Structures are given as C-alpha cells and as structure tokens.
Amino acid sequence: MKPPPLFLLLLLFLFSTTTTSAAASTTNVTKPATPTLSPTPPTTKGPSSSSSTLDPKQIRALQSLNIATARDPCVQPSPNNATVCDTSKPFRHLVSLHLSNCSSNVSLSSAALKSLSSLHSLSFTNCHASPIRLPSDLSFSLTSFSCIHSLRHLTAVWLSRFVNLTDLTVSYTPINTRGLYVILGNMHKLKTLTISHANLSGSLPRHLHLNLTHVDLSNNKLKGKIPTSLTLLEDLEFLNLSSNGLNGVIPTEFGDLISLKNISLATNSFSGTIPDSMSAIPGLIHVDLSNNQLKGTVPSFFSELKKLKVLNLENNELHGVIPFNASFIKRLDVLKLGGNGNLCYNQSSLSLKMKIGIAPCDKHGLPISPLPSKESSRDSGSESSDYGDDDNDGGGGGGGSADNTSEKKEHHHGPNKVVLGVAIGVSSIVFLIVFLLLLSKWCG
Ligand SMILES: *[C@@H]1O[C@H](CO)[C@@H](O)[C@H](O)[C@H]1NC(C)=O
Ligand SMILES: *[C@@H]1O[C@H](CO)[C@@H](O)[C@H](O)[C@H]1NC(C)=O
Ligand SMILES: *[C@@H]1O[C@H](CO)[C@@H](O)[C@H](O)[C@H]1NC(C)=O
Ligand SMILES: *[C@@H]1O[C@H](CO)[C@@H](O)[C@H](O)[C@H]1NC(C)=O
Ligand SMILES: *[C@@H]1O[C@H](CO)[C@@H](O)[C@H](O)[C@H]1NC(C)=O
Ligand SMILES: *[C@@H]1O[C@H](CO)[C@@H](O)[C@H](O)[C@H]1NC(C)=O
Ligand SMILES: *[C@@H]1O[C@H](CO)[C@@H](O)[C@H](O)[C@H]1NC(C)=O
Ligand SMILES: *[C@@H]1O[C@H](CO)[C@@H](O)[C@H](O)[C@H]1NC(C)=O
Ligand SMILES: *[C@@H]1O[C@H](CO)[C@@H](O)[C@H](O)[C@H]1NC(C)=O
Ligand SMILES: *[C@@H]1O[C@H](CO)[C@@H](O)[C@H](O)[C@H]1NC(C)=O
Ligand SMILES: *[C@@H]1O[C@H](CO)[C@@H](O)[C@H](O)[C@H]1NC(C)=O
Ligand SMILES: *[C@@H]1O[C@H](CO)[C@@H](O)[C@H](O)[C@H]1NC(C)=O
C-alpha cells in the first residue's frame, strides 16, 4: 500500500507550514497590541481628601472649560495630567493647565482666564477653541506655552505678549505673521523654540536670543539665508530648519555652534560646500543635510566625530571618493549617501557588505556606471535593514534610483509576511480538503 505514507508525509508538511505561519502571524499581530496603556492609578489617597483644596474661583474656571472637578484637580496625577497645583494655603492654585481633545463647543472665556493668572504653563492639544486675547496677568505669568493642532490659527502679535516664556511650542497650527521677529522680539528668556508645520513665512531673524538651546522651525515657508549671527548661539544643542525654502551657503562660522548635537537643514535649497568648521563641533550625533544642492566632496572629519550616529547627505550634488572606512560605517546607525550622482566608494580599501546607496569607484575616482543594479542591493541582504529602518526624514525628494526600491521593500516587510503566512495557511487548508475529498473518492 503506497498511498498512505505519501499522504501522511504531505499532511505533515502541510500542517507544519500552517502552524509556523500561524505562529509568525500571531507574534506579529500581538506585538503592536502589547504596549498596555498604564491605567492611571485611580487615586491612592483620593477618597481621604474629598473636598477640594483648589481655589473656588479656579474650580469654576475649570468647570467652564469642561474639565471635570468631581475629584480634586490638585491630586496627582490628575487625569491626562491636565492640572498641577502649587502648595499655597488655605487654597492651592493652578500652576499648569493642559487642555486636550476639547469638545467642539468648549470656549475660552475671559472671565475664566482672568482667574487663572497663577499659571506658569498652559498647553493645548487637539483643542479647536477660538483664541481670545488673554488677560495680561496671565500672559506675563506664563513661562511655557504650547499649542499643538489647536486654537484654529494664531497671530504673531497674540504670541508676542508672552514675554516671560522660556518654552514656546506651536505646531500644526497656522500662524499669520510678517516674520518670526514679531513673535520673538520681546521673549528675552526663551530657551526652547518650536514652531513647525505652522505656515510660518518670512526670513530667519537676524538676532536670536543667545540662551536658546533648542530651535525647531521645520516644515514652514521660511525663505532667505541663514544669518551669520545664528552661529553665535553657543548653547544651541538642537537645530531643525528642515523643509523650508532657505537657500545660500551654510555659514563658514557654523563650527561656532559648539554645543550642537542634532542638526537638520534637510529639504531646502542650500548650496556651496559642507563647511570644514563643522569638524570643531565635538558632540554631533545627528547630521541631516539631505535634499539640498550641496557640492564638493564629503569631508573626512565626519569619521572623527566620536558621537556621530546618523549621517544623511543624500540627494545633493556631492562627488568623489567617500573618505570613510568600514569601522566608521559600522559604528553609525544610519548612513545615507544616495542621490549624489558622482559619489562613489573605493572598492579596494572598503569592502562593503551593507548598502549605502552609492556605486564603487573606477580607478579615476568616478562611479562605475550604471549605479548598483537590483542584484547588488539584494546581496547586501539583511545588513541593509540597518540602514533602512530610520525615520523617513529625507524622504521627499526624487530618491537615489536603486535606493528607494529596496527601502520600500524593507518597509513593507512586516505586513507582507503576515499576508503571506495567512495566504499559505488558507491555501494549504483548501488544498488539504480537496486532497481528502479526492482521496475519499479514490478509496471509496
Ligand atoms: C486624545 O484623543 C486621541 C485620539 O482619539 C487619544 O489617542 C489620546 O490619548 C487623547 N488624549 C487625551 C489626553 O485624552
Ligand atoms: C504625566 O506627567 C508625568 C510627569 O511629567 C509623566 O511621567 C506621565 O507619563 C504623564 N501621564 C500622562 C497620562 O500623560
Ligand atoms: C458641549 O457638547 C457636549 C457634547 O459634545 C454636550 O454634552 C454639552 O452639554 C455641550 N455643552 C455646552 C455648554 O453646550
Ligand atoms: C514677566 O514680565 C513682566 C513684564 O515684562 C514683569 O513685570 C513680570 O514681573 C514678569 N513676571 C514674572 C512672573 O516673571
Ligand atoms: C499660509 O500662508 C499663505 C501666505 O503665505 C496664505 O495664503 C495661506 O492662506 C496660509 N495657509 C493657512 C492654512 O493659513
Ligand atoms: C543666559 O543664561 C545664563 C545662565 O544659564 C544666565 O546667567 C544669563 O543671564 C542668561 N542670559 C540672558 C540674556 O538671559
Ligand atoms: C526635523 O523635523 C522633521 C519634521 O518636522 C523631522 O521629521 C526630523 O526628524 C527632524 N530632524 C531632526 C534632526 O530632529
Ligand atoms: C538626536 O538624534 C539622536 C540620534 O538620531 C536621537 O536618538 C535623539 O532622540 C535626537 N534628539 C532629539 C532632541 O531629537
Ligand atoms: C577608520 O577611520 C578612523 C577615523 O578616520 C580611524 O581612527 C580608524 O583607525 C580607521 N580604522 C581602520 C581599521 O582603518
Ligand atoms: C583605492 O584604494 C587603494 C588602496 O588604498 C589606492 O591605491 C587607490 O588609489 C584608491 N583608488 C582611488 C580611486 O582612490
Ligand atoms: C524612485 O522613486 C521615484 C520618486 O518616488 C520614482 O520616480 C522612481 O521611479 C523610483 N525608482 C525606482 C527604481 O522605482
Ligand atoms: C514578525 O515576526 C518575526 C518572527 O517572530 C519577527 O522576526 C519580525 O520582526 C516580526 N515583524 C514585525 C513587523 O513585528
């Protein structure tokens, strides 16, 4: 009797494929679900202090802003961290208020806001109330203001009244302004500034406050050059000017930004060369100059920056042999050089198992054309994922030919595996049923 062993073998094979694919798909499905929302512990000491310690005027103000006050708003942590109080007596006062996911009919009333001038921090997230003129006591008391996807639209003059701010954040909210200087002119204490996705127009101010440590003006409509005076910000650690309409050269004094760690000038129209003075910035971690028109060769100083983790120079007009050795390239988390037509690497001094988006050089230091075909990017195999799994920061532009195909492959890897697993499972079950039917007919 030959059929049974064959049948059993087939059955075994089918079962093994279905079970392994099912296992793979379940692990991949359960993974995203695991981050358990840490349930806000409902008041360890709540019941004991049932009567609120908050100033009754401020309780009424919170109620008018649709913030629940059934539980004492001063007990920490408050739901969604909406409220934080000071310790004054007999009544405590609010120092921080965070309005988020407001119902569409919430309105900021001046009566409510008048009683809130004890606030140091005011923030809005997904709260589409209309902005109203804040009482001056409140605008003077704030040291931190944040508006993310809220308040419909703002004006520079409205923001400029927060003269004591150290932290200003506006994102995904359009600001109507003739220039950033209108907003920042009187904020002499500012340390961190984020205005992104805010339709901000005009140019970069000639004078920025020297104590700034964090400047993010990404995704706006800023135009013009980087003023040399920007390089005076010697406390600046973070600078993101990506996705604007900035142009001109990167100032030669750029290396004066001695505290800089993360910088992105990506997706603008910067030209000229990468300034050598950057080699003097010892703490650089993340450098993104992609999607500009930078020329010249890739400077060798990058490999001497001990902390560098991310280097993205793709989609520029750089040329020549890259001055990097394999141990430097391995040390990085992300290296992107694609989309620079005349950039190449020295095959005899650098054997690259990983894909960095450029071709090897011929003996004249020019890339061996055509660019690495699909074959070479495929045999880079698993290691290429080390260089493909970063953010989509530089994504916008016309990618570096062979580069984008393989990157897309990487990004779709997860879902494809699940689909494949399910498909194999289902088809093998169908096949099994058909096979059994045939078998039963055949035997019977
Ligand atoms: C606001 O709503 C979003 C989406 O509905 C939710 O993910 C988020 O946790 C909410 N935030 C707060 C503070 O309630
Ligand atoms: C509340 O704030 C604390 C400290 O800032 C933070 O650790 C916590 O994650 C926040 N909780 C929520 C629900 O946002
Ligand atoms: C606001 O809208 C909510 C439902 O979205 C409703 O329950 C509440 O009564 C409204 N409040 C006012 C003052 O209209
Ligand atoms: C904020 O600035 C105003 C006006 O410049 C000043 O009078 C006030 O004392 C400052 N307030 C705080 C809390 O620093
Ligand atoms: C963005 O700014 C332009 C002018 O620079 C204006 O025409 C446009 O309406 C603004 N868009 C939004 C959403 O405010
Ligand atoms: C900048 O910060 C330093 C210390 O962090 C402080 O001494 C100095 O007064 C600040 N400068 C200005 C103009 O606020
Ligand atoms: C700059 O901002 C963009 C978007 O606003 C973001 O995608 C990118 O990661 C930021 N770059 C750095 C170096 O932080
Ligand atoms: C700076 O860049 C590093 C490396 O990409 C990243 O881990 C870190 O979060 C960034 N810091 C800030 C403030 O964005
Ligand atoms: C690679 O380059 C770095 C910096 O230029 C240098 O310190 C290191 O010795 C080089 N490694 C090898 C194996 O050549
Ligand atoms: C590549 O490296 C080898 C050995 O280090 C050297 O002899 C050769 O000149 C280099 N080729 C180019 C084009 O730089
Ligand atoms: C790479 O991406 C660009 C723009 O997204 C597209 O036009 C081009 O066809 C892509 N290249 C390949 C080889 O798919
Ligand atoms: C899917 O599961 C496999 C095997 O457990 C794992 O290697 C892979 O990283 C997972 N993919 C995703 C997107 O979670």
In this predicted model, what pLDDT tens digit does every residue of 199-227 receive, in sequence order? 999 999 998 888 999 999 999 999 999 99
How many C-beta atoms lie closer than 10 Å to residue 371's C-beta?
18
Q: How much is the average pLDDT of 26-31?
A: 33
User: pLDDT at residue 310 above 90?
Assistant: yes
User: Ramachandran region of residue 360, left (φ > 0), alpha (ψ -120 to 50) or beta?
Assistant: beta
Ligand approaching nearest to the C-alpha of 333:
8
pTM of the model: 0.73
Highest average pLDDT, of 46-55, 91-100, 224-233, 352-361, comes from 224-233
199 lines ligand 5 (CB under 6 A): yes
How many C-beta atoms lie closer than 10 Å to residue 177's C-beta?
22
Instruction: Find the residues whose C-beta lies inside 6 A of ligand 11.
Output: 398-399, 401, 404-405
Instruction: Quote the tokens at residue 38.
Output: 């840490």
pLDDT for 377: 37
Sign of CA dihedral 125, 128, 129, 132: positive
Amino acid at 234: E
How many whole angstroms from 414 Cα to the centroid of ligand 12?
7
105 lines ligand 3 (CB under 6 A): yes
Pairwise CA distance, residues 94 & 89, whole Å: 12
In this predicted model, what pLDDT tens digit does every residue of 105-163 receive, in sequence order? 778 888 888 889 899 999 999 998 888 888 889 999 999 999 999 998 999 999 999 99
For 43-98, the DSSP string reads -SSTGGG-S--B-HHHHHHHHHTT---SS-TTSSSPGGG-EEE---SSSB-EEEEE
* 308, 325, 330: residue to mutate for ligand 9 pocket, most atoms within 8 A of CB: 325
Separation of CA 99 from chain center: 23
All domains of the chain in start order, with CATH: 50-371+383-394 (3.80.10.10)
User: pLDDT at residue 32 above 70?
Assistant: no
pLDDT for 352: 66
Ligand approaching nearest to the C-alpha of 365:
10
| Helix (H), strand (E) at residue 147 | strand 144-148
pLDDT for 160: 94
264 lines ligand 7 (CB under 6 A): yes
pLDDT for 268: 98
214 lines ligand 7 (CB under 6 A): no
How many whole angstroms from 137 Cα to the centroid of ligand 4?
9
pLDDT for 87: 83
Which amino acid residue places its CA nearest to atom 8 of ligand 2? 81
Residues 6+ apart with CB under 8 A from 198: 170, 171, 172, 173, 174, 175, 219, 220
Confidence of residue 38 (pLDDT cuts 50, 70, 90): very low
* 218, 241, 257: residue to mutate for ligand 7 pocket, most atoms within 8 A of CB: 218
Mean pLDDT across the chain, nearest whole number? 78
pLDDT for 58: 87
In this predicted model, what pLDDT tens digit does every residue of 116-127 receive, in sequence order? 989 999 999 999
* Closest atom of ligand 3 to CA, residue 105: 1
Query: Which among 218, 266, 238, 295 has a CA at the least distance from the CA of 394?
Result: 266
User: pLDDT at residue 385 above 60?
Assistant: no
pLDDT for 290: 97
Sign of CA dihedral 271, 273, 277, 283: positive
Q: How much is the average pLDDT of 259-286?
A: 97
How many whole angstroms from 328 Cα to the centroid of ligand 9?
7
How many C-beta atoms lie closer than 10 Å to residue 258's C-beta?
14
